[in-house]
Amino acid sequence: MEFTGSSYTGESTHNRMEGKGEYAFASGTRYVGEMKDGMFHGEGTLYFPNGGQVTAVWKEGRTVGEGSGGEYTFSDGLKYNEEGWDYCNAFSERRFYTEICKGLKPAGRSQLIDSEKKPHAIPLGWFDVGDGLYNPETRRVESYTGGFLRNADDEEHLWIITQCRKGVSDDVA
């Protein structure tokens, strides 16, 4: 484990992760729960660096049981529900989670982002993708402070230009 940057704290049998413990990945993700023969096995939760988490029953490293995906909770507290999921998908309305919880705002005071904060300024021709700004000419997503996040593939590019807010001129001709 020391070679991969991960660590384990907890019970063990014959130098194998066995029983209750915490496994921390080098990426910042960590698993807290039951282990058997070095694998997630029993009840446990994966915690992601962004604040999301998956709570599930595991068998030999895989989730088992109804739906086989466990319960996923996003970093804002929204719980994913496989049945009747209608939050931000292409086939239903696109309300933000805060609008679902607190209700829609009156006309003219719509939310542009899923926060009570003021939306970020979007450069002309760029798009706001939620975790940064997207330049469709370079296909590059940058953080709001200007650092590189990722390059968009064809699928993400198409989704961004059809679904995200675009920076436009304030001039009205």
- Nearest Cα to Cα of residue 121 among 161, 172, 165: 165
Task: Provide the pLDDT for residue 63.
Answer: 85
- Nearest Cα to Cα of residue 137 among 113, 108, 157: 157
Task: Provide the pLDDT for residue 35.
Answer: 93
> What is the mean predicted confidence (pLDDT) over 119-125?
85
Rounded CA-CA distance 140/142 in Å is 6
Range of the domain at 99: 86-116
Is the pLDDT at 4 greater than 80? The verdict is no
> What is the mean predicted confidence (pLDDT) over 128-147?
90
Task: Provide the pLDDT for residue 80.
Answer: 74
Reported confidence tier of residue 139, pLDDT bands at 50, 70, 90: very high
List the Cα angle 158/98/121 in 5-degree steps: 55
Is the pLDDT at 2 greater than 70? The verdict is no
Whether residue 164 contacts residue 128, with contact meaning beta carbons closer than 8 Å, is answered with yes
Higher pLDDT, 91 or 3: 3
Rounded CA-CA distance 61/122 in Å is 43
Rounded CA-CA distance 45/55 in Å is 4
Task: Provide the pLDDT for residue 68.
Answer: 61
Domain count, the chain: 3
| Same domain flag for 20 and 64 | yes
| Same domain flag for 112 and 124 | no
Reported confidence tier of residue 73, pLDDT bands at 50, 70, 90: confident
Is the residue at 2 inside a domain?
Answer: no
Reported confidence tier of residue 95, pLDDT bands at 50, 70, 90: low
Is the pLDDT at 22 greater than 60? The verdict is yes
Is the residue at 93 inside a domain?
Answer: yes
Higher pLDDT, 112 or 13: 13
Is the residue at 152 inside a domain?
Answer: yes
Higher pLDDT, 107 or 27: 27
Best mean pLDDT range from 3-12, 50-59, 74-83, 92-101: 50-59
Is the residue at 173 inside a domain?
Answer: no
Is the residue at 81 inside a domain?
Answer: no
Is the residue at 1 inside a domain?
Answer: no
- Whole-angstrom CA distances from 113 to 56, 67, 131 are 31, 31, 11
Task: Provide the pLDDT for residue 77.
Answer: 77
